[in-house]
Chain A
């Protein structure tokens, strides 16, 4: 009795208790959500305790854009480029969300963005960009530097 092209709505709740309602076609851009839908677990609101509202909104925005047939390839490219103009806190959240929700195109893009931010930089610079604390002791650091030095001269 169910139509193959369902207008079913999927309800999601972020970690900070914001609810989002999206069409199933949008939600299933996420492999994780797709599996839930396929297994019939998507009838009630799906809680996402490790994704906050701001990030979830961004991710769903991405999914919507990629499902919208009126968007041209060129517009999509521009959208994707602008999308990744983020600061580090959002980048982290987005990375974790994309990984957990397994939104393939998004995850690849975010990983690539992070990779591009790292390439060509020295460790201190990388730490500064991503606000990472250096938890090596000087001896440990030296050990790592030497670890591969002999193999690569």
Chain B
């Protein structure tokens, strides 16, 4: 979940909270599976004994990042030199992963070749990438080598990869004899990490009564899944309304995409809808959109939106806006004001 470093986001019209037992205190909105069970990050006190996480052994760093996407791997590699070095094998793995996908689907000017795909994925898996492990497992499964597939899924699952956990669980369910108890254990983990298919599969297992005595509180799982369905319904309504031109719905749709609540997690869609709402005069959206532009380095555009937000009463926007304005020349500042003065909201339904 993206954490902001500047004043917290506005709530707008968010979902009302359902009763959901949670370890720490309250959140404004439902704890979605993507919100995870982990508590919020504490402010760090300075560590005086010189031990910090840059001094972690390389294999530990590699384990932590085993299930990372490329974007997260890149960010982690840029944190400090020792992490960069520790994550070198994983970056190599990403290259193999990419080649594997090319061979599997036959694009990037390459003819589809399942054997070469498998070979590439296995090389990626050998360097510790759970994504490659899962993809290799899928090919093994297709080719009928189920035990090899399961071994790979197990490796990925142990490293915390939700897709690996989900696939492992499904292989337990389909196994002969089937092992629903183990399956549910892994489905639960994947569900908590926000894996949609795992959540669906878990719901199915419970519904079919395949799991009778397991250690997991069924009520908790049902509530978790109810939340998920509530999100889905709510998000669908918002999306419909947004497409019909309802301003507040556009803003909420953006948040849904941003948090992956009820809609697939999509940074691109989140940005698109936030911009739409901003261009039609939603003041909070103007603030958020301005912040996003700022973090992308689009200073001029950012400050125009922040100025609009400030004029519409978003006090938090003023602070950031002033920080950026100080960095601009007076000509640029004048231009910004000129653009803000001449801005007109695009039409919306309400």
Contact = CB atoms under 8 A, between A and B. Distances in A.
Interface of A: 72-74, 76-78, 81-82, 84-89, 91-93, 95-96, 99, 108, 111-123, 125-136, 140-141, 144-145, 147-148, 151-152
Nearest to A136: B81
* Category for how many chain B residues contact A: 35 or more
B38 A116 contact: yes
- Please name the 5 residue pairs, one residue from A and one from B, whose CB atoms are nearest each other, closest first: A73-B215, A123-B78, A74-B217, A85-B39, A130-B53
A43 to B, nearest CB: 30
A77 B79 CA distance: 32
Interface in B47-78: 47, 49, 51-54, 56-57, 60, 63-65, 67-68, 70, 72, 74-78
Interface of B: 1-3, 5, 23-24, 36-39, 41-42, 44-47, 49, 51-54, 56-57, 60, 63-65, 67-68, 70, 72, 74-81, 84, 91, 94-95, 98, 158, 160, 214-217, 220
28 contacts: A73-B214, A73-B216, A74-B215, A74-B216, A74-B217, A76-B215, A78-B23, A88-B52, A89-B47, A92-B47, A96-B56, A111-B160, A113-B38, A115-B68, A115-B160, A123-B78, A126-B79, A127-B79, A130-B44, A132-B53, A132-B54, A132-B79, A135-B54, A136-B78, A136-B80, A136-B81, A144-B78, A152-B98
A94 B68 CA distance: 22
Contact of A111 (B38, B41, B63): B63
B80 A127 contact: yes
Given A118-B76, A132-B79, A136-B81, A82 B23 contact: yes
Nearest to B57: A99
Contacts of B41: 117, 129
Given A88-B47, A141-B78, A145-B78, A81 B56 contact: no
B278 to A, nearest CB: 22
Contacts of B49: 89
B342 to A, nearest CB: 34
A88 to B, nearest CB: 5
Interface of B is mostly: loop
B123 to A, nearest CB: 14
Given A95-B56, A123-B79, 13 more contacts: A81-B23, A82-B24, A88-B53, A92-B53, A113-B38, A114-B53, A115-B160, A120-B3, A125-B5, A126-B79, A130-B79, A135-B80, A148-B74
A126 B39 contact: no
Contact of A115 (B67, B75, B217): B67
A111 B64 contact: yes
Given A123-B75, A151-B95, A144 B84 contact: yes
A76 B214 CA distance: 13
A107 B60 CA distance: 10
A126 B76 contact: yes
Nearest to A82: B23
B200 to A, nearest CB: 21
Contacts of B2: 120-121
A87 B42 contact: yes
A117 B214 CA distance: 30
Contacts of A87: 42, 44-45
B51 A92 contact: yes
Most chain-A Cβ atoms within 10 A of its Cβ — which of B1, B41, B68?
B41
Contacts of B56: 92, 95-96
Contacts of A112: 160
A7 to B, nearest CB: 27
Q: Which of B5, B53, B84 has the most CB of A within 10 A?
A: B53
Contacts of B3: 120-121, 125
Given A116-B36, A120-B72, A132 B52 contact: yes
Interface-central residue, A88, A140, A141, A145, by most chain B CB under 10 Å:
A88
Nearest to B4: A125
